[in-house]
Amino acid sequence: MGDALGATTEFLTPREIRQYHKVHRDIVGGGWLHLAPGAVTDDTEMSLALGRSIIDRRRVDAVSIAEAFSAWMRSKPVDIGNTVRRGIVHYRSTGRPKIDQNEQSAGNGACMRCLPVALAYCRAPVEQLVSAVHVQSHVTHNAPLSDAGTDTVVKMVVAALQGGGRRSMRQIADALVSGFPAFRYDGRRVENPSGWIVDTLRAVFQALFSTSGFEEALVDVVNRGGDSDTTGAIAGMLAGALYGREAIPLRWSNALDTAVRQECEQQAISLVALANGGVQPVIEGTGISNHG
């Protein structure tokens, strides 16, 4: 939802958004990708690819996920980040579903797609949740900042799903800031955020904690411009878990591509059912796969 909303304002500055849209608040497509109304970008497409793998394997399985991402790239998506592309090419050429640690991979591409892990492992011990999210992340992104930020988002989603509310979510965000002060979000308003995970989450946390509803949070963050499809996607995960499905504006649900909306709904049901039934242990698969 946030992806489709934010794609319209991606790479615009807040001033340009005001000039063209006043306040952008509807799913209308367009943007630099010239999307049809309701279409989504790589954020949602990669999340769905991840979800399919988890549902099929009944667990997080590194090779299965890498294959899912590779198949997605082969489909010639409308957009793909450079770090994601490099990670998939690495898997194709080596058979290893994990890149080496690299500070330059601290983008937001692993975080933008992490929701299926949070849903499938929402009843698992936190150590298993973190292990699962690292496996999916490290196919393309392996950096301490990326790991820390993505871990935080899945923990916040799980806390909200378990009824912890805004206070619990904020405590988790503040723990991230304690360990990695670069993520501090209580200062100047972040506008035009880049694809760096730190910029992304500072903008998302500001929007989430300064508003009081799903629509308000997403409208706030996508009107900051920059990498707004991804800030919208991540804010949508968090605000959706916090406020629930009933808080999603009907006009947004109706505007979203029908096939995308249906698969998102079906995957959410299947992933939560997997969590309730006992998700299987993570398969890290750091060795060579049978990939040809």
DSSP-derived secondary structure letter, 108? S
Q: How far, in Å, CA of 273 to CA of 288, rounded?
A: 31
List Cβ<8 Å contacts ≥24 apart for 270-274.
270/51, 270/55, 271/51, 271/54, 271/55, 271/116, 271/119, 271/120, 272/119, 272/122, 274/54, 274/55, 274/58, 274/120
pLDDT for position 286 = 57
Query: What are the phi and psi torsion angles at 111 (to 5°)?
Result: -70, -35
Cβ(99)–Cβ(140) below 8 Å: yes
pLDDT at residue 261 in the model: 97
Residue 248 CA to residue 135 CA, distance in Å, equals 30
pLDDT of residue 168: 98
Backbone angles phi, psi at 30, to 5 degrees: 80, -140
End-to-end CA distance of the chain: 36
Q: What is the mean pLDDT of each run of 10 residues along the chain (292 residues)?
A: 97 98 98 98 98 98 98 97 98 98 96 98 97 98 98 98 97 98 97 98 98 98 98 98 97 98 98 93 70 46
For the stretch 198-230, pLDDT in tens is: 999 999 999 999 999 999 999 999 999 999 999
Q: What is the rounded CA–CA span in Å between residue 53 and residue 49?
A: 6
Q: Considering the entire predicted model, what is its pTM? A: 0.96
Which pLDDT score, from 0 to 100, does residue 292 have?
42
Q: What angle do CA 53, 252, 65 make, to 5 degrees?
A: 10
pLDDT score of 216? 98
* 132, 64 contact by CB (below 8 A): no
pLDDT of residue 279: 87
